[in-house]
């Protein structure tokens, strides 16, 4: 899958999740819960917030970088990268599982 194809498919499948904006605090809480639940060992549990542009980075040996008030979609995308580096089907599947977990745990605001 090319990266553009991946993004396209992602925005189509997870539109709601990309529209759901979080506060920095919410993003931080969900990030820690995801790391624990999906057994991602990472000593850097603090998100680096940077700017407001909706794009992020994930560092294998480090934390993730997100804009302030990130969407749930972006948070989950970067968190999933801690386990799967490339934009493959495997990443998509992991993202799906993470969204299901967030939904089950009620990490969505009711709006
Ligand atoms: Zn990515």
3-state SS string for 7-25: HHHHHHHCHHHHHCECCHH
Distance in angstroms (rounded) separating the CA atoms of residues 21 and 69: 6
Over residues 76-102, the pLDDT tens digits come to: 999 999 999 999 999 999 999 999 999
The answer to whether 69 and 21 have CB atoms below 8 angstroms apart is yes
Q: Tell me the pTM.
A: 0.93
Q: How far is the CA of 105 from the centre of ligand 1 (A)?
A: 24
Calculate how far, in angstroms, residue 77's C-alpha sits from the geometric centre of ligand 1: 6
The pLDDT score that the predictor gives to residue 109 is 66
Task: Give me the pLDDT at residue 42, please.
Answer: 87
Which of 109, 51, 102 is closest to 75 using CA atoms?
102
pLDDT tens for the 111 residues of the chain, in order: 788 899 999 999 999 999 999 999 999 999 999 999 999 988 889 999 999 998 999 988 889 999 999 999 999 999 999 999 999 999 999 999 999 999 998 887 654
| Cβ–Cβ under 8 Å, residues 47 and 63 | yes
> From the CA of 55, how far away is ligand 1's center (Å)?
9
């Amino acid at each position: 899958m090319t990266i553009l194809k991946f993004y396209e498919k992602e925005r189509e499948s997870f539109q709601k999740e990309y529209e759901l904006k979080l506060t920095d605090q919410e993003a931080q809480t969900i990030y820690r819960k995801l790391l624990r639940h999906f057994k991602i060992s990472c000593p850097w549990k603090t998100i680096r917030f940077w700017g407001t542009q909706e794009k992020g980075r994930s560092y294998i040996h480090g934390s993730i970088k997100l804009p302030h008030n990130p969407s749930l979609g972006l948070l989950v995308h970067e968190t999933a990268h801690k386990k799967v580096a490339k934009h493959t089907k495997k990443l998509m599947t992991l993202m799906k599982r993470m969204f299901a977990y967030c939904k089950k745990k009620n990490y969505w605001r009711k709006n």
